[in-house]
A and B are shown apart, each in its own frame.
Chain A
Amino acid sequence: MNLQFKKIIFYAAILLAGIFAPIVFPAYTFQLAVLWMMILFALTWDILGGQMGYNSLGNILFFGAGMYICTVVQIGMYYDVAEYTAHFGAVKIDFTPYQYFTGISAGLVIAAFACAIIAVIFGWIVFGLRGPYFAIGTLGVAIAAGELVGAWDYVGGGGGISLPNYPGGPGDREMFFYMLCFISAVCTFIFLKWLYSTRFQLALNAIRDDEEKAEAMGIHTNRYKTIAWSFAAFFLGISGGIFGNMTGFIEPLEVAFPTVTFGIFMVLMVLLGGKGTLWGPVIGAIIFHVIKEITWTYLLGWQWVALGALIIINVVYFQQGIMGWAQEKWPEFFGITVDEAITSAEENSPAEKEASL
């Protein structure tokens, strides 16, 4: 059994588990759907935070923007949006299955591309900022977006919008959204796996390691940064559209732009799993989601304190994350080998160990 074959079995097992999990545990369908969404969050955050070294605290902006754009498109295709939102969900208009499914597919596609465009525009504003200024600036943009949407009556303002009812049984509805979450997360993973095998990843890593030198080597850093952010925005926009439909009600501060919940969770999940790796965010997301569900169930009232403590412990004591720790412990498994030629040449000097791929 060679390695290639093992890998295929491994991926097939994950796919099968993903498909059959809601059938085996029907009570947890919603939680599992959120888990896939969390994986998507962590993966998209890692494009900038891990691979490019730009720690954004405001990626949630695209989640909320995607949610609102998708909703407005969905409703706007068949009804007047202003009239719909003016009723604050008091009047539920039934959509026919045809209207519903064309609406949601058009909404998701438009939300994805619109978010990518928003990323290009905001990238122009924020990518001149470095280090902590970037983190604070993106946080500011995300909070400001939430406040502004809350003041915009056309999309329902602070009162929010109720989304159209799913035409079909309740069991179908859960399964439908679970599948959407599952497929979008898997597509994100496949896309990033491909992206990280191209020169694009090398350019991102060069920006992370030393942006000035990367520029000196002729890498168009601004272009790479903007494109990388719009990739993240593309998938976050889709996830926002799905999540809005899944919860059935959207509102600017708690659901669409939750800067201190989902916005921080994505950072935390990546740090927990190990940033700058492909599998780190996935593992981090799974572990974090399990921890979160347990604390939310058994430590009710204290869950936020537990979350803050987890952030501090994670950042202060365990920053390399699970994947980073595993790579240090079993470097051979990750294809990291010690170059004998270099180490033997430096044997007599107390130089640091040189690890090369």
Chain B
Amino acid sequence: MFDNLSLLGLVPMLNLQLLLDGLLIGSVFALAAYGLALVWGVMNIKNLAQGDFVIMGGYITFTLSQPPINLHPILSIPIIFVLMFVFGWGLYHTIIKRVIERDLFTSLLATFGLAIVIQQLINLAYGPDVQTADAGMEIREFFGGEITIADTKLVSFLLALVVGLLITFFMKKSRMGRAIRATSQDARAARIMGVDTDRVYAFTFSLNAAICGVAGVLISIIWVIQPFFGITHSIRSFVIVTSAGFGNLIGVILSALGLGAVEQFSGFVFGAEFQQATVVGLLVGVLIIRQIMQSRQRQVVQ
């Protein structure tokens, strides 16, 4: 561990490499986290199945990229978007609709059950092996090979940027986007103004599933997917949203990029097997900091 630390000090380019990798991967985390911030902020649903939507999107891409279809992973993005949107719509009308008005723990537990069902169905269909969708791109070298950036990572960064911009534009300009924002501010007032909040909720949840699906496509290209990796992605989203707060898009993006970088560095220093521990440790850390910040305002009988 200390050897790795001193290596970072000796080779400054390595820091840059890790930072770049982290930022490029972080952009994909930002997508899923933004989806979570959306459903959390608008519907007050804490979706623990978030990461499993991501993995599900990844596996659909993987299936499409295999024979007999042989579709290029990047071209499958629109298909995944539509498929996951429909999936989210169906899920909303069967399960989520019934937990919206309940207490907070209900939605957490119901989506946890959902996460188990999704991951186990994927496991039954594909087995527990690690998969990846090959985009067939090259690796670029800079500074005489000291820094390498895979083209796939650059492309996925750009794609995440494009999707993020499209969604922001949609939320700002379209009629449905305005309805979503109104509902998140005050659902009752929105209802009085003639907004069909039930439809808004259904749309928001489906949009979240679709965003997660796109994130899954990108993850399957640049990284690996495995049926049980979903929980780590969910926890990542929770870390990002908890530290950034919802309704704060810039905050979500910044903390996602930061999380990506921190994960790369800790993966290098402590070893890859500590990846999940790092994410979980960050979650606990964020919650403790949040609590210390709140305790300044909260008066408790001690």
Whether A220 and B46, one on each chain, are in contact in the complex, defined by CB atoms closer than 8 angstroms, is no
Contact A312 B95 (CB under 8 A): yes
Q: How large is the interface on B (under 10, 10 to 19, 20 to 34, 35 or more residues)?
A: 35 or more
Chain A residue contacts of B277, Cβ below 8 A: 144, 147-148, 151
Range, interface on chain A: 35 or more
- Interface-centre pick from B95, B116, B231 (highest chain A CB count, 10 A): B116
B101-140 residues with Cβ-Cβ distance < 8 A to A are 102, 104-106, 108-110, 112-117, 120-121, 123-124
A311 near B116 with CB under 8 A, answer: yes
The secondary structure that dominates the A interface is: helix
What is the CA–CA distance of A39 and B223 in the complex, to the nearest angstrom? 42
Contact of A304 among B95, B116, B274, B295 (CB under 8 A): B116
Q: Complex: how many Å from CA A141 to CA B277?
A: 10
CB distance A308 to B106 under 8 Å? no
Q: What 1/0 mask marks residues of chain A from 126 to 162 whose CB sits below 8 Å from any chain B CB? A: 1011011101110011011001100100000000000
* Chain B 262-302 interface mask (CB, 8 Å, partner A; 1/0): 00000000000110110011011001101100110010111
| Contacts A137-B284, A264-B112, A316-B98; A129 near B276 (Cβ below 8 A) | no
Cross-interface CB contact of B287 among A57, A129, A215, A304, cutoff 8 Å = A129
**Residues on B with beta carbons closer than 8 Å to the beta carbon of A151:** 273-274, 277
How many A-B pairs have beta carbons closer than 8 Å: the answer is 116
Q: Which residues of B contact A141 (CB under 8 A)?
A: 284
Residue of A nearest to B298 (CB): A128
B294:A128 contact, CB within 8 angstroms: yes
Find out whether the CB atom of A308 lies under 8 angstroms from the CB atom of B113. yes
In the bound complex, do residue A315 and residue B284 qualify as a contact, i.e. CB atoms below 8 Å apart? no
A286 contacts B by Cβ under 8 Å: no
B110 touches A311 (CB 8 A): yes
Query: Given that A132-B105, A136-B238 are contacting pairs, would A144 and B281 also be in contact in the complex, using a CB cutoff of 8 Å?
Result: yes
Q: Does B30 contact A (CB under 8 A)?
A: no
Contact yes or no, A312 B108, CB < 8 A: no
Select one of B124, B274, B301 contacting A220, CB under 8 A. B301
Per the bound structure, the CA–CA distance linking A308 and B98 in Å amounts to 17
Tell me the bound Cα distance from A136 to B104 in angstroms: 12
B15 at the A interface (CB under 8 A): no
Asked if B113 contacts A309 (CB within 8 A), the reply is: yes
**A-B contacts, 28 listed (Cβ < 8 Å):** A55-B105, A55-B108, A55-B109, A125-B291, A128-B295, A129-B290, A129-B291, A132-B105, A132-B108, A133-B242, A140-B287, A143-B235, A144-B280, A151-B273, A222-B301, A222-B302, A267-B109, A305-B116, A305-B117, A305-B124, A307-B116, A308-B113, A311-B109, A311-B116, A315-B109, A316-B110, A317-B98, A319-B106
A sample of 19 more A-B contacts (CB under 8 A), given A129-B290, A220-B302, is A125-B288, A128-B298, A133-B242, A133-B290, A135-B105, A136-B46, A136-B238, A136-B283, A136-B287, A147-B276, A147-B277, A147-B280, A221-B300, A264-B116, A271-B109, A305-B120, A308-B117, A311-B109, A312-B95
